Amino acid sequence: MSRRRKIFLVTLLVSLVSFNQGAKEKSVVLNDKLIPGNVRLTNIRSSGPEFDVVSNLINSFLTRWTVAGAVVAVSKDGKLVFARGYGVTDTISKIETQPYNKFRIASISKLVTAVAVMKLIEAGKISLNDRVFGIDGILNDPYFKDPKDKRVYGITVAQLLGHEAGWSQRYGDQMFMPVYVAEKMGVKPPADTKTIVRFALDLNLSYTPGTGRAYSNLGYSILGLIIEKVSGMSYEDYCRKAVFEPLGMYDMAISGNLPSEKAPFEVSYYEPSDAELKPSIYGTGEMVSPSQGGNDIRNLGGAGAWLATAPDLMRLMLAVDGFRSRPDFLNDQSIRFMTDNDNGYAPVGWKTTVFDGTWWRTGSFPGSAGMMKRQSDGISWVVLLNSSSWNGPEIYSYINNMMYRVISKIDPWPEYDLFDYSLPIPLKVTLEKHKRR
């Protein structure tokens, strides 16, 4: 095949992916290479001179915090007006980061899970007050019977969503102890989600469900099991069919644990040089970095297993933001339950919901971090990083400060919507050019 014909086929492919697809873009395969639906959202769309000051601010942030690569997306009044990658996806290949690159999003996955559960509730499949365990519970499998602490029988769906189900970090985070749990339960490491839940049921709760609150990865992993039981599908498939596809999100995927399991267009992850190594979750005894086999990210399920692009996370956020600029995916009652701090459960899925209408969600693993924020003024943004060169959660305040400055420099605001943007050269023009040759 001639070089000119190869170039034409690639151009034709990109045109087909982009042309008149709107929000319904899917990934396609050509010559065994997966092309993501968001491929048209390249850096060139947000690289004009009007964004030079914005880019300088973001590049300065990457330099200060030794971040290899990042993606930033901004929307105003329901329109995606900025989406651009900075730095590199991999320090060896030095491939430029693009909006279509996938990142581990860690606990941002909890917002995905909460939306999926609320959709089941709206469909009448379950209710907030349904019991989770016991004969009349959703997870009434024999494997989960006879918990050590009988208060487990009082746990409801709403309490899992609100981190009020009785579990805490008293015994450590069960979801990050796959080798220890496997040893205690007599199974081959890493222990899967169901085994970890069974392990937790053999211990006492930290408090009576509904009388306190403690952040719980275990609780959201159990919500993933509830989704599977009620829908009859895997957690991944249900989220894809019931949430992602209706919203035009086609680039989400469950993360692997090892570099060899990277998804197409997934970034590499970078930790500090002095990061503490962990035993391999596969029980080999090898000491590895947490981002490369030291944590079992896949089995976090509903608590933190997703890979995502920044544009797809923006689609999700705009679908549950309560604004009228775009149709909401959930009804008003569901959105209020997730965000109204007066109801005793919120924030649900979100990390924080402030009374002035500002909501945000964060997530981090060794080697990655992300933050998404819905502001009360109709501006929303997503930031994803593929590095962790800091200690503790303070990075989020710096991300927030950076984005405050970035947003203040976008003037005037673009009128276009990158979600609906078509290639400037229509497909028929490209075909006619090729015919003339």
85 burial type by CB count under 10 A (0-12 exposed, 13-18 middle, 19+ buried): buried
The Cα–Cα gap between 347 and 292 comes to 31
Q: What is the pLDDT of residue 30?
A: 46
Which pTM value belongs to this model? 0.89
Q: What is the pLDDT of residue 429?
A: 32
| Across 38-52, 288-302, 373-387, 418-432, least confident range | 418-432
Give the bridge partners for 84, in sequence order: 72
Token digits of residue 223? 């919500």
What residue type is 102 in one-letter code?
Answer: K
The Cα–Cα gap between 99 and 101 comes to 6
Question: Over 70: is that where the pLDDT of 26 sits?
Answer: no
Q: What is the pLDDT of residue 433?
A: 37
The Cα–Cα gap between 359 and 180 comes to 36
* pLDDT tens for each residue of 134-181: 999 999 999 999 999 999 999 999 999 999 999 998 879 999 999 999
Q: What is the pLDDT of residue 10?
A: 43
Token digits of residue 224? 């993933």
Please provide the average confidence, as pLDDT, over all residues in the chain: 89
pLDDT band, residue 29 (cuts 50/70/90): low
Q: What is the pLDDT of residue 394?
A: 80
Of residues 66, 68, 70, the one with CA closest to residue 55: 70
pLDDT band, residue 21 (cuts 50/70/90): very low
Mean pLDDT throughout 97-113? Answer: 98
Percent above pLDDT 70 for the chain: 86
Phi-psi region of 26 (alpha: psi -120 to 50; beta: other; left: phi over 0): beta
Q: Which domains does the chain have, with CATH numbers?
A: 47-107+245-420 (3.40.710.10), 112-240 (3.40.710.10)
Question: Over 60: is that where the pLDDT of 298 sits?
Answer: yes
Q: Find tokens 């999926």 and name the residue.
A: 116
Which residues are CB-contacts of 396 (< 8 A; sequence separation ≥ 6)?
A: 362, 369, 371
* pLDDT tens for each residue of 181-194: 999 999 999 999 99
Q: Find tokens 């590895």 and name the residue.
A: 288
* pLDDT tens for each residue of 380-435: 999 999 999 776 668 999 999 999 999 999 989 999 999 985 544 333 333 333 34
Largest Cα–Cα distance of the chain, in whole Å? Answer: 77
Q: What is the pLDDT of residue 41?
A: 87
* pLDDT tens for each residue of 327-339: 999 999 999 999 9
In 150-302, the DSSP E strands lie at 253-254, 278-279, 287-288
* pLDDT tens for each residue of 207-247: 999 999 999 999 999 999 999 999 999 999 999 999 999 99
In 140-298, the DSSP E strands lie at 253-254, 278-279, 287-288
Mean pLDDT throughout 72-90? Answer: 97
Token digits of residue 302? 């509903």
Question: Over 70: is that where the pLDDT of 8 sits?
Answer: no
The packing angle between helices 193-201 and 217-231, to 10°, is 120
Q: What is the pLDDT of residue 354?
A: 96
pLDDT band, residue 80 (cuts 50/70/90): very high
Token digits of residue 119? 């959709």
Q: What is the pLDDT of residue 170?
A: 83
Does residue 429 or residue 89 have the better pLDDT?
89
Q: Are 308 and 236 spatial neighbours (Cβ–Cβ below 8 Å)? A: no
* pLDDT tens for each residue of 119-136: 999 999 999 999 999 999
Q: What is the pLDDT of residue 27?
A: 55
The Cα–Cα gap between 356 and 365 comes to 29
Q: What is the CA radius of gyration of the chain?
A: 22
Mean pLDDT throughout 251-277? Answer: 94
b/e per residue, 22-36, with b = 16+ CB within 10 A? eeebebeeeeeeebb
